[in-house]
Amino acid sequence: MTETARLKPELYGDGPQPSLSGGACTCGYVFFPMQRYGCERCGRYGEHLTARALAGRGRLVASAVVHIHFGERPAPFVVGAIALEDGPVVRTLLAGTETALTPGTPMVTTLVPIAPGEDGAPRVDLRFTAES
């Protein structure tokens, strides 16, 4: 049996509601994705920045349907900005909808199947979906 691989394993975990791989500064600022270049709030870097799992929950700030797209992803698809409960706002693809959603909608992470990799192995990627 072939194991399913995550498209971007450095950005999120496994599970029915995967966490995001973010970070936090000693000043209290929380960010996504994890990076070591320096805090956007205070400028600290290095040992002041630590990895932190961010809960895959938040509220929709805005969403839009993309009707024309020149990349590999076929249109239409829906993108959204999610204010995570842990603080950062992330921009992401939304799953389970073909229309824009109402701002304030509770959202959760989910892993969805995507096209197989070059080796033919099944892959999944993280999306946000309206909480049921």
What are the tens digits of pLDDT across the range 15-27? 778 999 999 999 9
Same domain? 48 vs 111: no
pLDDT at 111: 92
Same domain? 63 vs 92: yes
Amino acid identity, residue 68? I
Percent of the chain scored above 90 by pLDDT? 74
Q: What is the pLDDT of residues 42-64, one digit of tens each?
A: 999 999 999 999 999 999 999 99
Same domain? 78 vs 103: yes
Does residue 53 contact residue 33 with C-beta atoms inside 8 Å?
A: no
Residues 50, 32: Cα–Cα separation, whole Å: 12
Same domain? 61 vs 106: yes
Same domain? 28 vs 65: no
Distance of CA 76 to the CA centre of its chain: 19
Same domain? 72 vs 29: no
Q: Mean pLDDT over all residues of the chain? A: 91
Q: How confident is the model at residue 3 (pLDDT cuts 50, 70, 90)?
A: low
Same domain? 97 vs 71: yes
- Mean pLDDT confidence for 109-123: 86
- Within a 10 A sphere around the Cβ of 80, how many other Cβ atoms? 25
Alpha-carbon dihedral sign for residues 26, 31, 37, 43: negative
State which residues form the domain around 48: 20-54
Please state the pTM of the whole predicted model: 0.87
